[in-house]
């Protein structure tokens, strides 16, 4: 079965600095990888996904993620963080043919002014 | 356009009672998913519908949980004989089809079982 690990519960960065939120995955087939963001008392919002093709995926709000097959990673990045980026971030994976999407436990990003 | 909506936003019930949670997906989306999110954790898959049929219910924790989607749009998650451990946020998502399509999530229903 597929699984996702987000090794950091919390990431703190200063506004204007680059940010990285880490994600590693495990699947037996082809990985479909996703990043979602959750603001307080709101549902999950889609940021970006990797299905196939270019390893560097660009998404909403200036976020991007790089698929690394050899390291089984899909880290989320942004060149310059904003205070408004502070939220809970979830990485998720589907094993190509499966129906269910497995989520990581989430990483809380705090961007300080 | 309208996103996924869920009602109620909050539900408080007593142990042993029956509850229904409703999900209204994005118009035209054939795939619908239910997830459960406990405090401090990521969403956990419960069930997937393709059209009217439950294509995969492998995530339902036990037979107290049941879901329907009779006309292929609105879905209802039903929980019988609720237990305190059922307290969580129940999330619904929909996608255009299955496969690689992005799942779009509703705001969730926070269920509290006293």
User: For residue range A81-105, what is the model confidence (pLDDT) as tens digits?
Assistant: 999 999 999 999 988 766 678 999 9
Is the CB of residue B107 less than 8 Å from the CB of residue B53? no
Instruction: Name the closest residue on chain A to residue B40, using Cα atoms.
Output: A105
| B4, B59, B102: residue with CB nearest A49 | B102
Per-residue pLDDT of chain A (113 residues; tens, 9 = 90+): 789 999 999 999 999 999 999 999 999 888 999 999 998 877 899 999 999 889 999 999 999 999 999 999 999 999 999 999 999 999 999 887 666 789 999 999 999 99
The pLDDT of residue A43 = 82
Q: Which residues of chain B make contact with A57, given a CB cutoff of 8 A?
A: none
- What three-state secondary structure class fits B107? coil
Q: Token digits for B19? A: 């509850």
Mutation target for B interface from A10, A21, A43, A50: give the one with most B CBs within 10 A: A43
Between strands A102-103 and A87-95, the pairing is antiparallel
Q: Which residues of chain B make contact with A51, given a CB cutoff of 8 A?
A: 100
The pLDDT of residue B1 = 56
The pLDDT of residue B93 = 95
Mutation target for B interface from A2, A101, A104, A108: give the one with most B CBs within 10 A: A101
Torsion angles phi and psi, residue B47, rounded to 5? -155, 150
Which letter, b or e, does each residue of A21-31 get, where b requires 16 or more Cβ atoms within 10 Å of its Cβ? bbbbbebeeeb
Helix%, strand%, coil% for chain A, nearest 5: 5, 55, 40
- Cα(B10)–Cα(A109) distance, rounded to whole angstroms? 26
Is the CB of residue B8 less than 8 Å from the CB of residue B107? no
- Cα(B56)–Cα(B42) distance, rounded to whole angstroms? 20
Cα A36 to the center of its chain, rounded Å: 6
- Cα(A49)–Cα(B36) distance, rounded to whole angstroms? 22
The pLDDT of residue B78 = 97
Cα B69 to the center of its chain, rounded Å: 11
Q: Which residues of chain A make contact with B4, given a CB cutoff of 8 A?
A: 43
Which letter, b or e, does each residue of B43-82 get, where b requires 16 or more Cβ atoms within 10 Å of its Cβ? bbbbbbbbeeebebbebbeeeebebebeeebebebebeeb
Residue ranges, chain B, pLDDT below 50: none
- Cα(B57)–Cα(A29) distance, rounded to whole angstroms? 21
| Interface residue B65 vs chain A (CB under 8 A) | no
- Cα(A78)–Cα(A48) distance, rounded to whole angstroms? 12
Q: Which residues of chain A make contact with B55, given a CB cutoff of 8 A?
A: 99
């Amino acid at each position: 079965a597929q699984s996702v690990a987000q090794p950091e519960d919390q990431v703190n960065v200063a506004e204007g600095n680059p940010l990285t939120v880490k994600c590693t995955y495990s699947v037996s087939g082809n990985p479909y990888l996703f990043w979602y963001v959750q603001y307080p008392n709101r549902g999950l919002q889609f940021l970006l996904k990797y299905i196939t093709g270019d390893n560097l995926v660009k998404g909403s709000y200036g976020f991007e993620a790089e698929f690394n097959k050899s390291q089984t990673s899909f880290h989320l990045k942004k060149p310059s963080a904003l205070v408004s980026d502070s939220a809970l971030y979830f990485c998720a994976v589907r094993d190509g043919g499966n129906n269910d999407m497995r989520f990581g436990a989430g990483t809380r990003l705090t961007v300080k002014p | 356009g309208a996103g996924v909506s869920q009602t109620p936003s909050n539900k408080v019930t007593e142990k042993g009672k029956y509850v229904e949670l409703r999900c209204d997906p994005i118009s035209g989306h054939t795939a619908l998913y239910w997830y459960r999110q406990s405090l401090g954790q990521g969403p956990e898959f419960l069930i997937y519908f393709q059209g009217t049929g439950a294509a995969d219910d492998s995530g339902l924790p036990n037979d107290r949980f049941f879901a329907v989607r009779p006309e292929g749009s609105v879905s209802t998650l039903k929980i019988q004989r609720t237990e305190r451990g059922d307290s969580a946020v129940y999330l619904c998502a929909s996608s255009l089809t299955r496969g690689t399509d992005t799942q779009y999530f509703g705001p969730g229903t926070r269920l509290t079982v006293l």
